[in-house]
Chain A
Amino acid sequence: MRKEIPIALSFLAGIIMLIDSFTPGNFAPRVELSKWLIIMSAFMVGIASVNLVRIHGANVISRRKGWFNSFSLLVMLVAFTYVGVMKYSYPEVETWKVLFQNFYDYIMSPPAAVMYAIIAFYVSSASYRAFKARSVEATVLLVAAVVVMLGKAPVGELIWSKFPVISSWLLNVANTTGQRGIMIGAAIGGFVTSLRVLLGLERGHLGGV
């Protein structure tokens, strides 16, 4: 039964979604199932939090290397959750709202933005060290990259007015052709995998049952 019940549930859920795609309007079972999915997804956030506490709590207790980072994460997890719950529970109290927004604006956002911005340094260094015309394919990629970069930056238009035109052609024709091929291939692959899950042939999601 450990095998049959999950397979039957997967089949039922999949069939409801499939029927919905071929039915005009709202197919009632799909509407209900979608609400369940939203609730389950919300629970997954809770499970992820418990997992974080387990892993990083163990790091702190056993004083593993970098334990202070784990400690910071746990402090922020608790603080953010507490302020968020208070904000939601007492919407008329302005302090919680301001505190939550400030947590977000001044604690969460800057490090996240910095992490992304640091990529610029790696890109500039990598472009110097690794982006070499070692083969015909690499040379085509290199030329295309330079033209697209010049086409997308205002300074490229000043250098040669045709850069944006060539850049657009590369994006709209060469790139889109490849993207379409990838999308169609991925869609066919997705369809086949879904069919295998529905028929119980693919059981990886059941945890090796």
Chain B
Amino acid sequence: MSFWDKMQKIDRRIIYALLVIVVAFPLIRPLGLPLSYSDTTLKFFDEIEKLQPGDRVLISLDYAPSGAADVHPQTVAVSKHLIQKGVKIAFVSFWEAGPMFAEQIMQPYLDSGELVYGEDVVNLGYIPGANSAIRSFGFDCVGSAPKDLNGKDTASMPIMQGIKDCRDFDVVIDFVMGSPGTAAWVQQVQGPLGINLLVGSVVVEVPASMPFVQAGQVKGLLQGLRGAAEYELLSGSAGIAAAGMDAQSLGHLLIIGSILVGNVAYFMSKKQPKNNKQ
């Protein structure tokens, strides 16, 4: 077996070990690679910056723990920025795991007394029914979520006063990792009602969301962990996403290196005469 044949059959555990090293190293010793801002992140940030204290924002948490590494840092960064601006937030979810992410975000602010539940923030919980539930909620928010996550009446909460449909929220943000998600919000609510829709998405969902962004149906888009990192830097509070970008960079480099070495080995192996391959 020639050198290039051996290279083609390299033990996968070596690649796994290399990946662990290149991802762990920058997390321990950050490299501080510079980060530019994408257009979609800047548009997202500008929409949030337009909000005034007392405005109300709906955040739909449509993701699960499996995609949280990519999306949750976006939710944390945007929620933090909204709270700093004095904007009121209503959380809802069409994925069963979503409400617990809202609890994680709200709890420290509620414990410190910075926010008052029912006035500044509310967790409307999980609404089953995918696209139909999104449509129903979009057209009749309180009717579709009459009780919050803990069974309290939402109609009597100050934050929900005057809210009939999603147009009554100044901005609707969907943090999403799959279906139901961006397409459902655009087709079921944004199209018929013309709401101000922003999206934060796992990076693999970004290609599917781009037609909606270009059509102006989605006004801003955060793209995966990088989108979260860009938003953290724009809002002046670097956090876990910005710290993770170096690790992601080196991870990408390793994968690109793997592709190149794998291809060189493949072509060199093909070039060798068959009798040399013994």
Binding site for B on A (CB under 8 A): 21, 26, 31, 34-35, 37-38, 40-42, 44-45, 87-88, 91, 101, 104-105, 108-110, 112-113, 115-117, 120-121, 123-125, 127-129, 131-133, 142, 145-146, 149-150, 152-158, 164, 168, 171-172, 175-176, 179-180, 183
Task: Identify B262's interface contact among A101, A127, A150, CB under 8 A.
Answer: A127
The answer to whether B132 and A175 have CB atoms under 8 Å apart is no
Q: Which residues of the partner chain B approach A21 to less than 8 Å between Cβ atoms?
A: 192
- Chain A, residue nearest B208 (CB): A179
Contact (A34, B33) CB under 8 Å given A109-B65, A133-B263: no
| Min CB–CB distance B154 → chain A (angstroms) | 14
Asked if B77 lies at the interface with its beta carbon under 8 angstroms from chain A, I say no
Of the listed stretches B41-49, B80-88, B144-152, name the one at the interface; the rest are far from the partner chain: B144-152
CB-CB < 8 A to B150: which residues of A? 87-88, 91
Known: A116-B69, A124-B15, A128-B10. A154 touches B128 (CB 8 A): no
Cβ B36 vs Cβ A149 within 8 A: no
B114 at the interface (CB under 8 A from A): no
Complex CA distance for A82 and B38, rounded to whole angstroms:
46
Instruction: Given A120-B251, A152-B203, verify A31-B139 contact (CB < 8 Å).
Output: yes
Chain B positions 125 through 139: 1 when the CB is less than 8 Å from some CB of chain A, otherwise 0: 001111011011001
Cβ–Cβ < 8 Å partners of B130 in chain A: 41
Q: How far is the CA of A34 from the CA of B261 in the complex (A)?
A: 55
Q: Which of B62-79 contact A (CB under 8 A)?
A: 64-69
The 22 listed contacts between A and B (C-beta, < 8 Å) are: A26-B140, A31-B140, A34-B136, A34-B139, A35-B144, A41-B133, A91-B150, A101-B100, A101-B104, A112-B66, A116-B66, A124-B16, A128-B15, A128-B259, A128-B262, A145-B259, A152-B224, A154-B246, A155-B249, A172-B214, A179-B207, A183-B211
B206 at the interface (CB under 8 A from A): yes
Q: Is the CB of A149 within 8 A of B140?
A: no
Q: Tell me, in angstroms, the Cα distance from A157 to B16 when the chains sit together.
A: 26
Q: Does residue B184 face the partner (Cβ distance < 8 Å to A)?
A: no
Tell me the interface secondary structure of chain B in the complex. helix
Q: Is B163 an interface residue (CB 8 A)?
A: no
Q: Are A176 and B214 also in contact (CB < 8 A) when A109-B65, A112-B64 are?
A: yes
Q: Does chain A have a CB within 8 A of B143?
A: yes
Separation of A88 and B150 alpha carbons in the complex (Å): 5
Query: Separation in Å of the B29 CB from the closest CB of chain A?
Result: 15
B252 contacts which of A113, A149, A158 (Cβ < 8 Å)? A149
A153 neighbours in B (Cβ, 8 Å): 226, 245, 248-249, 252-253
Known: A38-B128, A129-B262. 15 other contacts (CB 8 A): A37-B132, A38-B136, A104-B100, A105-B104, A108-B97, A124-B254, A125-B15, A127-B258, A128-B15, A128-B261, A154-B35, A155-B252, A156-B252, A158-B33, A179-B207
**Cα(A128)–Cα(B266), bound, Å:** 10
Bound complex: CA A131 to CA B129 (Å):
39
Known contacts A35-B136, A42-B128; is A155 also within 8 Å of B65 by CB?
A: no
> Smallest Cβ distance from B198 to chain A, in angstroms?
18
B268 at the interface (CB under 8 A from A): no
**Interface pair B132/A34, CB less than 8 Å apart:** yes
- B152 and A164 contacting across the interface, CB-CB below 8 Å: no
Q: Does B250 contact A (CB under 8 A)?
A: yes
